[in-house]
């Protein structure tokens, strides 16, 4: 019996990766611009930033992604009124005609797309050696201890991300998908609950919170509260609250309006010692070392 081989259609093929960056910029940072013969994506992971693409200026906020097409001149500017941003910047070669769908477009990522981008970043950190935050270093150096096929996963996740962006909002619900609707509703409800708790945590980041406080505020048992955070965020409740404090501390340090003792006090720490301990445990750097690295980056020009 003869078997027919069906050549699978391929709409995207990422052939080469040029750079992989995760930047944390302070207010006042200016990248004066460049253009190159390959694609580049920029995603705002936190804060906001002004991006110029040829003659068009965009103000991008958390969750926005923009694609710079080959030979497009582009700049980045963090103005004084902007919240200091964290940016994912990945440049790559792709000759696929479907890339034209991303020209002159800004997209807001949904949960699925953000999860894909998160996996891309995780594999990038495994596949290549740091630094990932130096705007003057573009050449990728392979990590010899990288897990099996990390680079191929980056390629695959990027291609899936692009397909998902194009198909977003256009897929028809099949009968099989309809049968999963109740579980999707449950997932959506859990995400909403966790987001409400996160909003509450952010509103109280300058103080202290206990499990009892959160359970009382949201009428949840401790077991349920812990399960929600593990399923949605993969972390403990109070561990995440401490992470929020450190992230806020990083912003305050980058704003350069307070000394370290004042930052510790603003975030509810009883002493600079405990603040410095938590900060170093979370970031791998002391507050002073972090401040120096951010200040250096804020005046760097590509």
Q: Quick check: 195 pLDDT over 70?
A: yes
pLDDT at 89: 96
In a domain, 1, yes or no: no
E-strand ranges in the chain read 14-24, 30-34, 39-46, 48-53, 56-61, 64-68, 74-77, 86-94, 106-108
* Residue 270 confidence (pLDDT): 86
**What domain range includes position 43?**
14-166
109 and 200 in a single domain? The answer is no
**Angle between the 237-255 and 181-203 helix axes, to the nearest 10 degrees?**
50
Looking at the fold, whether 138 and 198 belong to one and the same domain comes out as no
Residue 164 pLDDT class (50, 70, 90 cuts): very high
Token representation of residue 272: 């600079």
57 shares a domain with 188: no
Q: Do 162 and 192 sit in the same domain of this protein? A: no
92 and 26, same structural domain?
yes
**Which domain-ending residue is among 117, 137, 166?**
166
Say if residue 301's pLDDT is above 50.
no
153 and 30 in a common domain:
yes
User: What CATH number is associated with residue 196?
Assistant: 1.10.10.60
- Does position 277 have pLDDT exceeding 70, yes or no? yes
User: d(Cα 89, Cα 34) in Å, to the nearest integer?
Assistant: 14
- Amino acid 169: pLDDT: 44
Task: Identify the domain boundary among 142, 166, 190.
Answer: 166
d(CA 280, CA 282): 5
* 121 within some domain: yes
Check whether residue 128 and residue 236 sit in a common domain. no
Give a yes or no: residue 9 inside a domain: no
Please return the burial class of 98, using the count of CB atoms within 10 Å of its CB with bins 0-12, 13-18 and 19+.
middle
81 found inside a domain? yes
Q: Domain boundary residue among 166, 197, 214?
A: 166
Same domain, 159 and 18: yes
Give the confidence band of 49 by pLDDT, cuts at 50, 70, 90. Answer: very high
Whether 272 maps to a domain, the answer reads yes
Query: Which CATH number covers residue 126?
Result: 2.60.120.280
| Among candidate residues 78, 76, 70, the one with its CA nearest the CA of residue 94 | 70
| pLDDT top residue among 13 and 176 | 13
Q: pLDDT higher for 43 or 184?
A: 43
Give how many domains the chain has, as a whole number. 2
Amino acid 171: pLDDT:
42
Question: Would you say residue 287 lies in a domain?
Answer: yes
Nearest to 20 by CA among 107, 121, 165: 121
Question: How much is the average pLDDT of 241-252?
Answer: 91
DSSP 244-266: HHHHHHHHHHHHT-S-HHHHHHH
**Residue (of 151, 148, 165) closest to 43 by Cα position:** 165
Of 34-43, 72-81, 291-300, least confident by mean pLDDT is 291-300
Tell me the per-residue pLDDT of 92-149, one tens digit each, with 9 for 90 and over.
999 999 999 999 889 999 888 999 999 999 999 999 999 898 877 888 999 999 999 9
| Residue 295, pLDDT above cutoff 60 | no
Residues 152 and 37 placed together within one structural domain of the fold: yes
pLDDT at 181 over 60: no
pTM above 0.75, yes or no: no
> Do the domain assignments include residue 135?
yes
Residue 171 forms part of a structural domain: no
Residues 189 and 154 in one domain: no
- pLDDT at residue 175 in the model: 35
Specify the pLDDT at position 180.
Answer: 52
Residues 222 and 147 occupy one common structural domain: no
**148 and 50 in one domain?**
yes
């Amino acid at each position: 019996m003869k078997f027919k081989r069906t050549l699978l259609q391929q709409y995207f093929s990422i052939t080469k990766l040029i750079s992989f960056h995760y930047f944390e910029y302070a207010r006042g940072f200016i990248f004066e611009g460049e253009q190159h013969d390959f694609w580049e994506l920029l995603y705002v992971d936190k804060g906001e930033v002004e991006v110029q693409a040829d003659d068009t200026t965009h103000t991008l906020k958390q969750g926005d992604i923009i694609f710079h097409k080959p030979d497009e001149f582009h700049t980045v500017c963090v103005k004084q009124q902007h919240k200091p941003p964290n940016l994912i910047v990945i440049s790559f070669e792709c000759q696929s005609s479907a890339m034209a769908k991303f020209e002159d477009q800004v997209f807001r990522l949904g949960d699925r797309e953000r999860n894909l981008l998160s996996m891309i970043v995780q594999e990038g950190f495994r596949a290549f050696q740091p630094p990932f935050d130096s705007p003057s270093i573009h050449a990728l150096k392979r990590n010899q201890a990288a897990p099996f096929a990390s680079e191929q996963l980056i390629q695959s996740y990027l291609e899936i991300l692009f397909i998902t962006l194009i198909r977003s909002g256009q897929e028809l619900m099949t009968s099989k998908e309809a049968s999963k609707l109740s579980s999707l509703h449950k997932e959506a409800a859990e995400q909403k609950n966790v987001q409400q708790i996160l909003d509450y945590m952010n509103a109280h980041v300058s103080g202290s919170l206990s499990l009892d406080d959160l359970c009382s505020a949201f009428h949840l048992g401790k077991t349920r509260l812990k399960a929600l955070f593990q399923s949605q965020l993969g972390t403990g409740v109070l561990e995440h609250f401490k992470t929020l404090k450190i992230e806020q501390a990083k912003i305050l340090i980058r704003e350069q309006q307070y000394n370290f003792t004042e930052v510790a006090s603003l975030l509810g720490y009883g002493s600079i010692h405990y603040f410095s301990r938590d900060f170093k445990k979370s970031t791998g750097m002391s507050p002073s070392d972090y401040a120096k690295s951010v200040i250096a980056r804020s005046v760097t020009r590509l």
